Structure formats: C-alpha cells, structure tokens
Amino acid sequence: MAQKADTTITKEQDVERLRKTAGLDDARLATQAMAICIVSMASSARQFARVATRTTTRSFAAVPRQAFRQQGRRFYSSEPEKKSSSSLLYLGAAAAAGGLGIWYFTSGASASTKEFVPTQADYQKVYNDIAERLEVDDYDDGSYGPVLVRLAWHASGTYDKETGTGGSNGATMRFAPESAHGANAGLIAARDFLEPIKANSQPIAKYPWISYSDLWILGGVCAIQEMHGPIIPYRPGRRDGDAAACTPDGRLPDASKGARHLRDIFYRMGFNDQEIVALSGGHAIGRCHRDRSGYDGPWTFSPTMLTNDFYKLLLEEKWQVKKWDGPKQFEDKTTKSLMMLPTDMVLIQDKAFKPWVEKYAADNELFFRDFSNVVLRLFELGVPFAEGTENNRWTFKPTHS
C-alpha cells in the first residue's frame, strides 16, 4: 500500500516557523530570547447521495432507504452548559496539568512578558474552526469527521494499563515508526487536516498553544458531536511526546481476528465486554478504504451521521462473506453495498457481546449514553491530568442546532 510521506513537526520546527512568522532574524533571536513554552500535557440527505455515489455498481438504488434509516433523526440534547463558578479554580488546575499554552516574549532589557492562558472559550474557538472545515464535497462521503474519530481512537487505543504506556498523551503517531504502523494507514489525512488549525502560515500561527495531543482528541470530540453524536466531555492537559515514546506495533485491533483477540486488546486498555461493544458503535460512521486497510465500503447508509444503525444492521441484515480478491469481509445480502469486518461479526457471534448489541440496537439513547462515557475514558487513557480536574470537564457546543 503506497502511503504518503508522513508530516512530522518537531518542536524545533515549531520554533523555527514561529521565529520566521514573528520576523525575528538570527541576531535578534540571539539577543532577544524568545522562549516558547508550548506546554502541552500537554446530515443529512446529502450523505445518502454520497453513499449512493460511492456504491453505484451495486443495487443500492433499488433498496428502500427507509428500511435502514432511522424514523426521525434523534438529536442528542445535551444538558445546558454549566456556568461553572469553579472555572477559575479549574484554570489553575489546568495550568498545573500543562493544558495551557503560555507564551513569553522577552525583548532586550525591557523585558515585556506576554502570557496567554487559554480558557474554555479558546478551546471552543478551536472546536468551531474544526467544525467549520469538516464538510467538504471532495473527500469520502463529504466529511472528515470519521477519519478524525479514527485518529483520536488510534492515538488513545495504544494504551497499556500494566505499563502505563501509550494512550492519547504524546501524539506520537506524528513520528515513525508509529506513523507507519499498518493499523494507522490513511490517518495522515486526519493529521494533515488538523495541522493548519495549530500551525498555519498566517502572520502568526492561530492556535500555537494547543498541543497536538489535545488537538487530535478535540478533533475526535468535535467530529462525534458534529455528526450528531452525543456530547463528549473534554479536558485539556496532554503533553506532546517525541519519537522515543512511540508504542510498539500490534497494540491496535486486527480486524481479521476473533473474540479472544478483541478481549486481549481492549482488556489491556482496561475496558470490559460491554464497553467493547459500545466502542464498536463507532463503526456507524465512516468507511473502509482499499488503499488503507485493504477492506472496502461503509457499515451504514449514513456514514456521516452517528446513530445506532451499526447494531441494527448487524442484527437485522443477513451478512454473507463477500466474494472478491480482498481480505475476508462480509456484505449485506440485500444490497451488497454495506460491509462488516470479521471483528464486527464477532459481536453477534459471542454470547457475552450479543446482548449488548441487542440493547444498543433497541435503544439509541442508551447507546449514546454508554458511548459518551466510554469514549471519554478512551480519550483520556494515559494522560497524567492534574488532580481535581476529573470533576471539571468542559463540554463544547455543537455548531448545529
């Protein structure tokens, strides 16, 4: 599989870029210490048309779409945003956790120090900027949302509870060898999508204070919410690591394997059977790509809308092995336009997993509640947050009504 060369942005490159955009030449730089402290613990009808376009060779058009679609789209209604009187206290805690970017510019003898302490409102601005760029006509099913969710999950899913290594702290997928791990094929699209949010070439970078690791997780949170999924509470505090912190290959699940493998992988992260099934609902969005994983096709007819359709389809459709020259995957008998991975099928073959598939298929609210809880935990794996911040997570306002 041909992969695009990876983009690796080091802290040194960050400094260099900033030096240039700030117009500082080397001599001035030498005398004016510019200390950069990037502390960083650091839809819709349209999508049906898109899926139909992507599956034109088969009989999608003949299938009554309503058979697969939810009757009346449920929009998750979040609790009203709490105007927390403890926000100042939280800021202090977040600063201690390193979730804040603080900039110092000292200029010669008259040292003027400019300190920038980002607040929830600043993170909401980043969220809004990501949301604004998510939908594009010429990418996949019209949204970068699914690949952003996959990036956030793969950044987090390397966690090993025994050794405390891996997880969303570090954003080590910026570096080889992790960027080249087979499981991460194609995620360059998500990393490139987010890059300008942090380090664009405006007179000065727009949000240089956010760590890559916080940004990638915020991208996942934003994508889930913007695709009409549940609210995912968030807290900053991830610190970017370097190549030395890359995790070994093989920590993410292999789609060709069985129940034993799924449990080995997810138990290692600290999840149980119910949580494995809830997390797998992420496959309601997005698709497989021949040139990335080797698999092909979407799981549902609404790949840019998060619903419990993944579970419904698993139970209601008849799935047969696809006859093709690719890896073993399943296709729905009715339209042959949807797919399931062998590991997806395990969820209805295993007697401990299946009851959860049934529960989530029957109750989208239950799915949303459990999905939000488990994704929140997934996205925080391996992050040494400051004590006390676990009760002060932020929720961001979706941009849709």
Going by the DSSP 8-state scheme, the letter that residue 23 receives in this structure is T
- Which residue, 131 or 149, is less far from ligand HEM as judged by CB? 149
The torsion region of residue 166 among left (phi > 0), alpha (psi -120 to 50) and beta comes to left
50 in contact with ligand HEM (CB under 6 A): no
Q: Which of 103, 299, 356, 394 is catalytic?
A: 299
Let me know: does 342 contact 257? Beta carbons within 8 Å.
yes
Q: Contact between 279 and ligand HEM (CB under 6 A)?
A: yes
Q: What angle do CA 53, 59, 63 make, to 5 degrees?
A: 95
Which of residues 188 and 262 has its CB atom nearest to ligand HEM in the complex?
Answer: 262
Identity of the residue, 209 or 330, whose beta carbon is nearer to ligand HEM in the bound complex: 330
Q: Would residue 154 show up in a list of annotated catalytic residues for this protein?
A: yes
**CB of residue 257 to ligand HEM, shortest distance in Å:** 8
Which range, of 52-60, 70-78, 143-151, 389-397, touches ligand HEM by CB under 6 A?
143-151
Is 103 an active-site residue? no
Angstrom distances, CA of residue 160 to CA of 2, 267, 321, 368, 385: 30, 9, 33, 26, 17
Shortest reach from residue 252's CB to ligand HEM, in Å: 8
Q: Decide if residue 282 touches ligand HEM (CB under 6 A).
A: yes
Residues 6+ apart with CB under 8 A from 209: 38, 40, 100, 101, 102, 103, 116, 118, 122
Between strands 297-298 and 319-321, the pairing is unpaired
φ, ψ for residue 189, nearest 5 deg: -60, -40
d(CA 265, CA 218): 24
Nearer to ligand HEM, 118 or 253 (CB): 253
Q: Could you tell me the smallest distance in angstroms from the CB atom of residue 285 to ligand HEM?
A: 5
Nearer to ligand HEM, 102 or 152 (CB): 152
Considering only residues 175 to 214 of the shown chain, the ones binding ligand HEM according to CB under 6 A are: 186
Task: Tell me the residue ranges of DSSP E strands in 152-234.
Answer: none
Q: Which one of 100, 173, 285, 348 is in contact with ligand HEM (CB under 6 A)?
A: 285
Element (H, E) at 103: strand 102-103
User: What is the distance of C-alpha 50 from the center of its chain?
Assistant: 22
Which of 103, 154, 209, 356 is an active site residue? Answer: 154
CB under 8 Å to 231, separation ≥6 — which residues? 76, 78, 79, 225, 372, 395, 396, 398
CB of 185 to ligand HEM, least distance (A): 7
With CB under 6 A as the contact rule, the residue among 172, 280, 300, 395 that binds ligand HEM is 280
255 binds ligand HEM per the rule CB under 6 A: yes
Contact residues for ligand HEM, defined by CB under 6 A: 146-147, 149-150, 153, 186, 253, 255, 262, 279-280, 282-283, 285-289, 292-293, 295, 341, 343
Residues with catalytic function = 154, 299
